[in-house]
Amino acid sequence: MRLLLDTRVVLWWLSQDLALNDETKTLIRDTPDVYISVASTWELAIKQKIGKLTAPDDLLERVGSAGFTHLAISFHHAVTAGRLPLIHRDPFDRMLVAQARCEGLTLVTHDSDIQKYEVDTVAI
């Protein structure tokens, strides 16, 4: 299994938040191929800049050095995301769905709307 972490899961992982249960922590820790999308980094940077996210100043550096593989956004990802039904209104989350579909990744998420798409998920 290869995992793609949604943005909130990335935050929970970095902050060791209790919302991330032990089973999910073990899955992430023991899976050799874990990805963080550039879309999540972009979303975090925007939310931090406009004050919607209270986080340490070095949050983006922590994301970058967390040991996960960074997943760039490709043309194919963008087209796929644009063609998804608007079950979820958040374009960042739709991009994660598209990337998971295109790359054959399992999306680790807490978001019930993401789970409505035809994409493999691990729900927390």
**Model confidence over 38-53: pLDDT tens digits?**
999 999 989 989 999 8
Instruction: Provide the whole-model pTM.
Output: 0.94
Q: Is the pLDDT of residue 55 over 80?
A: no
Sheet containing 2-5, strands listed edge to edge, beginning at the edge strand earlier in sequence? 69-71, 33-37, 2-5, 106-109, 121-123
Tokens describing residue 112: 């019930």
Question: What phi and psi, each to the nearest 5 degrees, are found at residue 29?
Answer: -65, -35
Query: Could you read off the pLDDT of 58-114 as tens digits, one per residue?
Result: 888 888 888 999 999 999 999 999 999 999 899 999 999 999 999 999 999 999 999
Distance separating alpha carbons of residues 9 and 80, to the nearest angstrom = 23
Q: Which CATH architecture has domain 2-123?
A: 3-Layer(aba) Sandwich (3.40)
